[in-house]
Amino acid sequence: MSVLLATIEQSGSTGEQIVFWVCAAIAVVGAVGMLISRRAVHSALFIAATMIALAVLYVSQGAPFLGMAQIVVYTGAVMMLFLFVLMLVGVDSTESLVETLKGQRIAGLALALGFAVLLFAAIGNVSYNFAVGIDGANAADGGNVQGIAHLIFDRYLLAFEVTSALLITAALGAMVLAHRERHTPRKSQREQSEDRVRSGEPQNLPGPGVYALHNAVGTPGLLPDGQPTDRSVPEPLRGVSAAVGVDHEDTRRVNALAAGGAIIPGKAEDES
C-alpha cells in the first residue's frame, strides 16, 4: 500500500489523483458488494461497476486499448452473458449456503490465505529493471493501440489467427448444447389458417379488459353476460392467472354501470 501511495504522490497531478481515488473507491466497493450480496443479479451489477471503474483507471493510466477492451468485452459482453445466465437459472433463485463437503469452507479459506501470502510475496518482489514505463512503450510504435496492433499482427500473428478457432468452438458449442433443432417441418401460413378454420373457432379471441379499470393486458375481458373470460388474456399470462386475478369488486361496478346504475363512488371520475 505504501508503494502505491508513493507512486501516486510521485505522479503529482491532482486531476489524476481525483480520478484514481474516485474510481478506486468504486472498484473496491463493487468488489466487496459482489462478495456480500445474496442475490446473484446484485453481484453481477456490482462487478459491472468494478469493471467500469477499472476501465476508467486503465484509460487514465495511458492504456486506452485495455480500457476499451474492458468496457466492450467484460462490461459489455461477458457481464451481459452473466445476466443472461442468471435469468436462465432464475433471477430470484438465491445461493444455497449449506456446506455439502464437511470442512470445505475452512480448508478453502486456509488455502486462499496461503495463496494470497504467496502472491504478495511474489508480486512484492517484481523487478522493474527492464520496465520502460507506459509512455516509453507507447512511444515505440506511435501509440498504445498501434503498439498492440504491431504485436498482434507481427509477433503473435499465429496466436491471433488461432484465436478464431476458439471463437468458432464457442459458437459451435453453444449451438450444439443449446439450439433446439426442429424435427418436424414448420407449418406454412396456409396450413396455419387451415388449422384455425378446422378448430371450429376461426374468429379473434375476445379482447382484454384493459379499458376502464386497469391498463394491463393481463386483465380479463368481460363477456356480454358480465362474466370475466380467461380466453381474453394472452396465453403466456394465463398460466399466472392466479396472480393476475379478476377483481370481483370491479366486475360488480361494471355490471352496475351496464345496468344503467349511477356512478359508484370510488370509481375514476376524470376518465374521459
Partner 1 sequence: MGEVYLPILVLGILGAAFAVFSVAAPSIIGPRRYNRARLDAYECGIDPTPQPIGGGRFPIKYYLTAMLFIVFDIEIVFLYPFAVAFDQLRLFGLIEMAVFIVTVLAVYAYVWRRGGLEWD
Partner 2 sequence: MSSLLAAASFDVPTIEYGQLSPMLIIFGVAVLSLLVEAFAPRGSRRPIQLVLVFAGLAAAFAAVVMIRGTQHIAAMGSVAVDGPALFMQGAILVLAFIAALVMAERQVDPLGDAFAPRASALPGSTDEIAFTRLGWLQTEVWPLFLFSVGGMLLFPASADLLTMFVALEVVSLPLYIMAGLARRRRLLSQEAALKYFVLGAFSSAFFLYGTALFYGYAGSVDLSAISDALTANAGSMWLVITATGLVSVGLLFKIGAVPFHQWTPDVYQGSPTPVTGFMAACTKIAAFGALLRIMYVALGGIRWDWRPMMYVIAALTMIVGTLFALTQTDMKRMLAYSSIAQAGFMLVGVIATNQAGLSGTMVYLVAYGIATIGAFAIVTLVRDSTGEASHLSQWAGLGRKAPIVASAFALFLLAFAGIPLTSGFTGKFAVFTAGIAGGATPVVIIGLVASAVAAFFYVRVIVLMFFNEPTSDDGVSVVVPSGFTTLAITISVALTLVIGLVPQLILDLANQAGLFIR
* Site residues for partner 2 per CB under 8 A: 118-119, 121-123, 125-127, 129-131, 139-143, 146, 150, 153-159, 162-163, 165-166, 168-170, 172-173, 175-181, 183
Confirm or reject binding of residue 145 to partner 1 (CB under 8 A): yes
Confirm or reject binding of residue 161 to partner 1 (CB under 8 A): yes
DSSP conformation letters of the chain = -HHHHHHHHHH--HHHHHHHHHHHHHHHHHHHHHHH-SSHHHHHHHHHHHHHHHHHHHHHTT-HHHHHHIIIIIIIIIHHHHHHHHHHH-TTPPPP---SSTTHHHHHHHHHHHHHHHHHHHHTT---TT--HHHHHHHHTTSHHHHHHHIIIIITHHHHHHHHHHHHHHHHHHHHHH----SSPPPPHHHHHHHHHHTT--SPPPPPS-SSS---TTSPEE-TTS-EEGGGS-HHHHTTHHHH---HHHHHHHHHHHTT-PPPTTS-SS--
Confirm or reject binding of residue 129 to partner 1 (CB under 8 A): no
Confirm or reject binding of residue 72 to partner 1 (CB under 8 A): yes
Q: Give least dist CB 74 to partner 2, A.
A: 14
Confirm or reject binding of residue 216 to partner 1 (CB under 8 A): yes
Closest to partner 2 by CB, 5 vs 130, is 130
Contacted entry of partner 1, partner 2, none for residue 5, CB cut-off 5 to 8 Å set by kind: none
Contacted entry of partner 2, partner 1, none for residue 72, CB cut-off 5 to 8 Å set by kind: partner 1
